[in-house]
Amino acid sequence: MQDPSPWNSQQRRKWAIPAGILLLLVFTLASWNSGVSSSSFTSSTSLSAQDTAALTNATRDACAKVMNKQKTLLFDTFSEVFDGVRNIALISVPDHENKGDSAIMTAEMMLLSTLGINVVYSCGVKDYDLEALTAAVDDYGSDHFAIVFHGGGNFGDLYTREHGLKLDVMSTFPDIRMHVFPQSLKFRSDATMQATKDVLSKLKHASIAVRDHQSYDFAMKHFAHSGLRVDLTPDIVFFMGFRPELREHFGKPAHDLLLFRRADGERTEWSWAGGASSPDFPKPFVQSLEAGGKELTYKAGDWSGDFDITPAEKGDGEQSHIEFRSWKRFMMGAEWLSSGEFVILDRLHGHIFSLVLGIPHVLIDNKIGKLSDYYSTWTSECPLGTLVAPEPTESAVRAAYRNWVERGQINGRMFV
C-alpha cells in the first residue's frame, strides 16, 4: 500500500525552531562523543530477546566504530589543512532543495565552528560577487585567510557551473590559500581535465580533499604538485557522527519500505524492480517481498521539494539565513528517510544519511559508480548498508531485505 505523495502532510513537521533550540540541537550534534547507549528491544520474530539485543548491539558497535573513526580523521585532516587560518571566504554555497548538499553545508559549518574559523564572505553560484570577494581578500588576505570551496560531487564536468566557478576564483586569486572540502572527482572531457590541471598548477598553497580511492588516484596522477596537497577523507557529513537518537525524534516509521530513487541526471532506471517508468512501479517488487506474509506499506520517490522553507526564511538575498535553511533542509531529509523501516536507495547521501541515522538499507549504484566507490572506500564495515553491485537484481535486493527480517531487526522497531 503506497503513500501517494512524496511528503505526507500528516507527517510533515514545521522546522520553525527558535534560535536557542536550534543552537542546542547544533551543539548536541557537534559534541565529540555520540553518547549512544544500549537499549532494550522487542522483536516480532522467533529470536530470543537476548539474541536480538546482541545482534542489535553488534550492529551499533560496528557502525559507531566506523563513524567515529571517520569523524576523527576529518577533524585531524582539516586541523592540519586550516592551520593558522582564522577567516575564510566560502564559495559555491548551496541554496537549493538537494538535502545532501544541505547536510554537507551543515557539517562544514560545524567543523569550521569547532576549529574556530569565521566565514567572512560566502556566495553561491548565482550570486558570486568578484568585487566583494576582492574586498575580503584585501581585508584578510594573509596567512590567516583562505578561500574554501563547498564539498560534494561537483568537482569536474558533471556540474559545469559549479566547477567553472571554482576555476574562475582560483585563476583570479592564485596566491591566496585555497582549500576544497571533500569531493568526488568526475571528468568526461579531457579538455576540462586539462583546463583544471592548468589552473591548479598555478596555485601556491592549496589542498583538495577527495572522498574515494578512485578520486584520490585521479587527483594524484593529474593534479598533485608541490603547492597542492591531496587528502583522502570521508564525506564531511560524517563529522556529525553516529546519531541514531536523531531518528527517534521522528517517532515510529510510517512505512515498511522507502524506495528512494533520485530523479535527476544521475538517476538509474531500477529495471530490476520492473523499471521506474512502469505504471505499476514498484508494486510487483514489493509484492515479491511479501511472499505470502503481511501486506507491506511503502513510499516511492525522491526527497526533492522545499515545502517547509517559508518566504521569511528565504530572506532578501541568496546568503540571508543560509545556515538555517541548510539545517532545515537537512532535517527534512532526515525525516524523509526516517519514514521507512527499510530503505532501498541510489543516492550517495541517502546512504550517508541512513548510516548517520541508523537505518538499514540497500545501495543501488548509479551510472557513474559514485555509491560503490564510496562504499568500498569507507563504509563496507558498517552492516547497516548492503551494496548490490555491479548489476542489481531483484533476487539480490530481496535477499538483503529478508536478511534483516530474519535477524529480527525489522518489523516496527529501531535497528540500532
Q: What is the pLDDT of residues 216-235, one digit of tens each?
A: 999 999 999 999 999 999 99
> CA angle at residue 104 from 100 to 109, to 5 degrees?
150
* C-alpha span between 102 and 115 (Å, rounded): 20
CA quadruple 193, 195, 200, 201: dihedral, nearest 10: 110
Helical packing angle, 99-114 and 322-338, nearest 10°:
120
pTM of the predicted model, to two decimals? 0.84
> CA angle at residue 155 from 154 to 156, to 5 degrees?
100
Residues linked to residue 363 through DSSP beta bridges, in sequence order: 345, 387
Q: Which residues of 125-152 are buried (b: 16+ CB within 10 A; e: fewer)?
A: beeeeeeebeebbeebbeeebbbbbbbb
Asked whether residue 24 carries a pLDDT value surpassing 70, the answer given is no
Band the pLDDT of 376: cuts 50, 70, 90. Answer: very high
Mean pLDDT of 382-410: 83
CATH code given to domain 70-238: 3.40.50
CA distances from 81 to 196, 209, 334 (A): 21, 10, 30
What are the boundaries of each domain within the chain? 19-69+242-406, 70-238
**What pLDDT shows up at residue 263?**
78
Mean pLDDT of 48-62: 68
Band the pLDDT of 17: cuts 50, 70, 90. Answer: very low
Give the cell for residue 373: 566507490
CA 22 from chain centre, in angstroms, equals 20
| Dihedral (CA of 8, 9, 10, 15) sign | positive
* C-alpha span between 69 and 360 (Å, rounded): 20
Let me know: does 156 contact 187? Beta carbons within 8 Å: yes
More confident residue, 60 or 265: 60
